[in-house]
Structure 1
């Protein structure tokens, strides 16, 4: 897959995204074709916003590297958290759309064995058993050898980092994307089930004698390259969904029968809801009591990633998205289409989506409590009954809404939806 080299290619995306027109969610005579077209518009809008916020993150990283201080590091961390809001809402487009699923790993693969990238505290380091790349330390090396393959890593570039993903055949060898950047900004979270996230110092990015933990020039180069690749990847995906004359994924999708478009929409909603969010991102971590299996494990931002995944599911149903600048994007929705066929089912699914957002909102509120915050890695600790109940409530709400998503599919002529459960039993 090739990626465009420009660093801030926002003009086209913003110009097209600015054409949003308010639309009543319950408008009469909504057609399947209108709903699928708006779905493509919605994807373009969300990815445009993800690109915009990733570009802001890139600027914050530039400022950090120009002057590494606690203040510029804090600003870069905030920009990373802000960038996650739009991106996590985009993940509902992954399931059912091959162009997204084939591309997503380079941006959001996890868990990762962070010792592939940089130094780690070996006494507190949990990694995939047998992974020869788990302590390769690209930043501290001019070459690495994994699985009998020797790779020259002396010059850190976006292309090099992309080539190192899953080196040696291990999915835990993740060299790029949001989580690689997260690790570089925060460092390891060594607090286990106790309060606290990663505590990397800004001096890890200083030059000369002020540098801490060695190889600061290479650490700076790695962070800059990972940021550039993230922006270029998002730019590529924006263009896949853009309403332009040339062939792209959007044109392929809209050339298919509308029923296939509806299937991809509903499959994405159901699969993110069931197998991915309820299963891989919550059930696995809770049952294993494993903070290594939380999604944003270095920053303790997992509650927000879960919340905005849920928001993305609801967005596809309602046809609504609130951009990072506060403006709204609306259009013909699944909710309106389903209401024309079965108003009771449409109302029930709407209520279940609200219930799942309330349960995910409880996770978010508890993690952000001013007096006694309980982040996701604390919730999944053994014998934490309150935390386990919060996570279980969210899982149950997600499982419940998936049942109605599948009923909605049948009502709309999409047979045998079979949302991906990722091998989990609920």
Structure 2
């Protein structure tokens, strides 16, 4: 669902800071740190995607329970840095225009491969919801004959992804790969993730699900495409890259991007579309990582990514720390009490998201938290939602304290107009 925008009032001109006390840091320094963190986060995302590609190659070469498990573990590891990168969305057009290729959700997975009969025969909204490209080497798409005999990254990105202009036709990215590794999660609001067997990748005798060669080709092509897409984004944030230049050329616009990304991810995207909406609908299909049941981790790392941007620090996969002059330093110079408050609220939201992870480790799956009547699960999710909403209000206060206008945060009907969710 396309969320509406929540416009934030600002009394100053869009690109002029209010007079502030002597600054401990300069806006340009803060934006350089932001770009450095983006570069490191996407570099880690690329490196872990390359490790995923190697694990997928091992699975295809020798399908077994062990190689399938290793590929799944590599996918989960790859989510750790990528989810932290989502704080660079919304305020950066280069990222926004690209993001749908790598992390779009939810998806009509029947476009890609076989699904359970309970999935149905498609919908009025999407004629291709059960196309099953893995089993269909030739088909008609929007009146054009498509030869999908060879499944390639170009076929996925240029023809299948968002086929016929339908956003639910997600053919590429992390979630397409997730589906191919786990299969559908048919457990509803009970515990349990997808349970695709490794035999879905056996070539010849023993193949389950049919078309194991084409399934392997699709998984390989989708993983290659993910690596290519991430390599592209790493280049955008490198020295001389377009995304880095876009935020550093005008530090005030860079600060706008930082605050927009923080507020939009906190509020409309995470608190609203990814968390409260699923709870309102009691629908596990609204889980972000719905096939793997990794949603609790993705939520946590999204929250961590917002805090990274404010504090000007990022802990890399190898344990090293990227840090520098921060938005926190800048806000502290304008309103020390607000900086203290916002840092405490960011810590609180990360802690509430971590409490969800702890509950999952203790035996309550995120699916189960979404079940109607699960008061404990509802309380865990809503505590995190409330903390994210609270910190968003302070992010708005920070824009006022710095005198930065031109800010819009992404909204969500689940937060702004709950009745619309059920219409």
Please, what TM-score do these two structures have when normalized by structure 1? 0.90
After superposition, the Cα gap between the structure-2 partners of 1:136 and 1:366, relative to the gap in structure 1 and judged at 3 Å, is same
Name the SS for the 2:140 alignment partner.
Answer: strand
Deviation track 1:134-174 (CA, whole Å, cap 9, x = no partner) reads: 11000001122344343221110001001211112221101
Root mean square deviation of aligned Cα: 1.6
Give the match for residue 216 of structure 2: 220
Q: Which moved more, 1:132-141 or 1:166-175?
A: 166-175
Give the match for residue 7 of structure 1: none
Contact 2:87 2:262 in 1 (8 A): yes
Contact 1:132 1:168 in 2 (8 A): no
Counterpart check, 1:31 vs 2:31: no
Structure 1 portions without partners, runs of 5+: 1-26
Give the match for residue 174 of structure 2: 178
Q: Which moved more, 1:358-367 or 1:119-128?
A: 119-128
Give the match for residue 293 of structure 1: 286
Counterpart check, 1:167 vs 2:163: yes
Give the match for residue 343 of structure 1: 336
Give the match for residue 245 of structure 2: 251
Give the match for residue 129 of structure 2: 134
Name the SS for the 2:205 alignment partner.
Answer: helix
Counterpart check, 1:420 vs 2:410: yes
Deviation track 1:341-368 (CA, whole Å, cap 9, x = no partner) reads: 1110000000000110111011111112
Structure 1 residue 130, shift from structure 2 partner: 3.0
Distance 2:358 2:48 in 1: 23
After superposition, the Cα gap between the structure-2 partners of 1:390 and 1:129, relative to the gap in structure 1 and judged at 3 Å, is farther
Q: Higher relative contact order by CA 8 Å / sep ≥ 6: 1 or 2?
A: 2
Name the SS for the 1:173 alignment partner.
Answer: coil
Give the match for residue 197 of structure 1: 193
Counterpart check, 1:354 vs 2:382: no
Contact 1:132 1:147 in 2 (8 A): no
Q: 1:80 aligns with which of 67, 75, 78?
A: 75
Give the match for residue 112 of structure 1: 107
Name the SS for the 1:419 alignment partner.
Answer: strand
Give the match for residue 388 of structure 1: 378
Distance 1:148 1:259 in 2: 48
Distance 1:422 1:39 in 2: 26
